[in-house]
Structure 1
Amino acid sequence: MNLTIIQLGIMHLNDCMDLDQKSLNGIWTKSQWELELTDPKRICLGVIEFETKKLLGLCSAWLVIDELQITFIAVDPRKQRKGLGKFLLSNLIKRSKSLQTNHIHLEVKDNNEPAKAFYKYMGFKMVGNRSNFYKDGRDALILKKETNIKS
């Protein structure tokens, strides 16, 4: 599979909404996606299959002073466990260093074992907990990765 990562824009709105629906049962509304894809303080990256131009995964983050807050990450369920998430998140981490961020934060549902293992593999560490964060009453674990560490 020949893949590339691109900056997503408003022209990718329907693809983002479709992937959101397939992978996470549509957690964001159309207006939330429109804002995510047009706000200059947000980074929205997509993994595209070069031949078909199909969106296979996406990651979105907000730039807040010297940190990135990951707000969304998903891979098409039919393409999971093939390295696309790693490819996407590695690219975001690389970009965060060029933006001179010091930290990347995200929340993950406390019972999402595959995601927790993935983030640990990618160098994220648990730094906190948000009780009753999700609609179903589950807690969110707050994870953090240091970037631009001075040696």
Structure 2
Amino acid sequence: MTPATLRQMTEADLPAVVAIERATFPFDAWSEGMLRGELADQPRTRHYIVAVLDDEVVGYAGLAAAGDQADVQTIAVSAHRQRSGIGGAMLRALLEEAVRRGATAVFLEVRADNPPAQTMYERFGFERIGLRREYYDDGTDAIMMMKKMDGVES
């Protein structure tokens, strides 16, 4: 388990989150304005969290939820903190929030060229349900995945 603390994202976190976003997703990073818009929908339809370690935001994740369906919007961890359990801890927190909000299924898209993320999602019970060709701005395909919410594993 990660020693990072998870808490709700606020606008004060945006500079650190935008820096991680640009480093993690250089071809299709969300702008600060897009992230600010997501935060504006908290808690109505959105739930965004940050992972903090030694007073530094080292990751963030977001969930969109409406009715009985939820979507993992994003998960990113600073390069120097990847493979330390932070991504899994944030995904677990998003899934718990999805259950709390009554979701019976959670969906996401993951880059076809990101096997570590695909492995993490599969570990949590997500299954591949389709492919979106050239989904990302650089032409990379997205693998569509879904998890039926009968509990949070891993």
The answer, yes or no, to whether TM exceeds 0.5 is yes
Contact 1:10 1:38 (C-alpha < 8 Å) held by counterparts:
no
Q: Which residue of 2 aligns with 1:95?
A: 97
**Gap regions ≥5 residues in structure 1:** none
Instruction: Give distance in 2, aligned partners of 1:140 and 1:2.
Output: 31
Q: What is the CA-CA distance between 1:48 and the residue it aligns to?
A: 1.0
Paired AA for residue 94 in structure 1: E
TM-score w.r.t. structure 1 length? 0.89
**Gap regions ≥5 residues in structure 2:** none
Q: Which residue of 1 aligns with 2:55?
A: 53
Instruction: Give distance in 2, aligned partners of 1:93 and 1:115.
Output: 16
Contact 2:61 2:75 (C-alpha < 8 Å) held by counterparts:
yes
Q: Which residue of 1 aligns with 2:84?
A: 82
Residue 6 in structure 1 maps to residue 7 in structure 2: yes
Question: Number of paired residues?
Answer: 147
**Paired-residue identity, %:** 24
TM-score w.r.t. structure 2 length? 0.88
The higher relative CO (CA closer than 8 Å, separation ≥ 6) is in 2
After TM superposition, where is structure 1 displaced by more than 6 Å over at least 4 residues in a row?
Answer: none
Q: CA RMSD in A?
A: 1.6
Deviations 1:92-147 (A, max 9, x none): 11121111111111101122211111111111100111122112222211101111
Instruction: Give distance in 1, aligned partners of 2:3 and 2:131.
Output: 38
Residue 147 in structure 1 maps to residue 126 in structure 2: no
